[in-house]
Chain A
């Protein structure tokens, strides 16, 4: 059974810092991994989707990497801003194509 873990559960950093969010999964037989952002009380905004054959994806200040063999992905946020404050969720698709989500990392960027 696929399980997804995100560490840390919460993170508070000063503005301008580069930071890394971690996501690990127990079954390496995945089709893809996706990072989402969720603002309080809102839905999910897709940030980056990495196919199983890819090693990383980049969008602006965001870079996500995937190491399938070790069951890990990292989301790197460069030069963090207060507007980046949100919960970040990772999800993997495997087996019957269901999205299996982690519990998220709550990020707070202090001005």
Chain B
């Protein structure tokens, strides 16, 4: 069974530029999560999708971050414009449901904002 796929693996941009990350969850997983992990900290949930609907985006900085999951499969996370403090690893995870099921994580995208 293929795992969660993410791209790109690394991205370096200058502040005020835009960037987008892509995630392909495990086949059949209804729930998709985006986490932000700042160096030295644990991952923090940004947004949770159940199929193509948003379940929780309470910690998403909506003035600059946006995410979508068209057709309930792949998802993209966008930052526009980026700030220095957005430098982090962005992790995507998926699970079969939106309850307490185990989440499976992708390799992450490391973003550096200069």
Which residues does A use to contact B, with CB under 8 Å? 4, 31-32, 34, 36, 41-46, 49, 89, 91, 93, 96-99, 101-104
Number of A-B contacts (CB under 8 A): 50
Q: B25: CB under 8 A from chain A?
A: no
Interface residues on B, range: 20 to 34
Asked whether A97 and B100 contact (CB < 8 A) given A41-B110, A43-B106, A44-B91, the answer is yes
In the assembled complex, how far is the CB of residue B54 from the closest CB belonging to chain A, in whole angstroms? Answer: 13
A89 to B43, CA, bound (A): 9
Which of A42, A46, A49, A101 interacts with B107 by CB under 8 Å? A42
Most A-side CB within 10 Å, residue of B45, B103, B107: B103
Q: Choose one: B33, B43, B108; the contact of A42 (CB below 8 Å).
A: B108
